[in-house]
Amino acid sequence: MLGRHRIRTVVLTVVVAATAAAGFALHPSDGGPTARATANTRRFVLILAGASGPSESGKFDLEVAARTESLTSRCMRSHGIRYLPRDPHSVVDVEDASDFSSLGYAREHGFGISVFPHFAPETAAAESYLKNLSAASLKAYDAALPGCVDSSQRTTEKEYGIPEANSEWARVDGEVQHDGRYRSALGTWRSCAAAAGHPARSRLALITALRKRYTAVMAGIQDGDHVLPQDELAALAAKSPAWRAFHRSELDAAVATFPCSQTTDRTYVSLFLRYLDRDN
């Protein structure tokens, strides 16, 4: 899997796959899938398996974000409240999302753990609209928005076949994980990574360990529970010796294990497609 795209709000995240850590809020479908949802289910399964390029993964995230925003606007309108849909790029950061297929990305961003996401700014019209709402209107807006966002997410997930894709990916991934050829490839990865100075059971295990370290580093930088804007947080991190040391170690781990991972990823994708096509 290519790794998740950076999510600004509660709109979307992506399921954990064999090669990267992430998460997706699953909601069961309450009806049969449409032809479009079925096509998107396979599309998303391939993205999760790392069988699609980064551009396809980014395109999918932006489409889902745009659809969710559109449905949220429609829902708010049903409550008699105007909602200006956000630019999908102000919700999802596709520019800095982890790209495990690119050595250039590894050299610049490592695994994407210590990257500070960049989102398109809110439009002046949206900021002005909210600023000029009366106290009563703003209260009604805030009361209606969470429910509209939740229902819009559920509808979008159903339209894009996302719960089914997560289920299908998990099933096929389980078959790949038990395949002797993939187990052998993982063994080769371990030997390769250890020789490169980064022993771990898998790339996912290596990333998980690095994320734990990063969480501790950032806990020492952030001001308690106060959420800082990303640009302010990035500026603080840049001044931190602990953050700079972590960032260098992350880049080193990503670059050093890149050749190891490429071989393993090819084996994973090849086997995944075989099992997926065999069972469909």
pLDDT of residue 31: 52
pLDDT of residue 271: 97
CA-nearest of 168, 166, 176, 170 to 275 is 176
Please name the helix (run of DSSP H) or strand (run of DSSP E) that holds residue 92, with its range, or none: strand 92-93
pTM value is 0.81
Specify the pairing of strand 6-7 against strand 92-93: antiparallel
Q: How far apart are CA 280 and CA 276, in angstroms?
A: 6
Contact 122, 86 (CB under 8 A): yes
Q: How far apart are CA 138 and CA 197, in angstroms?
A: 55
- At 34-59, the pLDDT tens digits run 788 889 999 999 999 999 877 898 89
pLDDT in tens, the chain (280 residues): 334 443 343 333 333 333 333 333 333 444 556 788 889 999 999 999 999 877 898 899 999 999 999 999 999 999 999 999 999 998 888 777 788 999 999 999 999 999 998 888 888 888 899 999 999 999 999 999 999 999 999 999 999 999 999 999 999 999 999 999 999 999 999 999 999 999 999 999 999 999 999 999 998 888 666 777 888 889 999 999 999 999 999 999 999 999 999 999 999 999 999 999 886 6
pLDDT of residue 20: 33
Size of the chain in residues: 280
Contact 51, 273 (CB under 8 A): yes
Angle at 164 between CA 159 and CA 169, to 5 degrees: 130
CB-neighbour burial class of residue 116 (10 A; exposed 0-12, middle 13-18, buried 19+): middle
Q: How far apart are CA 117 and CA 62, in angstroms?
A: 15
CA-nearest of 51, 41, 65 to 17 is 51
DSSP line for 133-183: S-HHHHHHHHHHHHHHHHHHHHHHHHHTTHHHHHHHHHHHHHHHHT-HHHH
pLDDT of residue 151: 97
CA distances from 104 to 4, 91, 99, 275 (A): 18, 25, 9, 31
Q: How far apart are CA 174 and CA 204, in angstroms?
A: 15
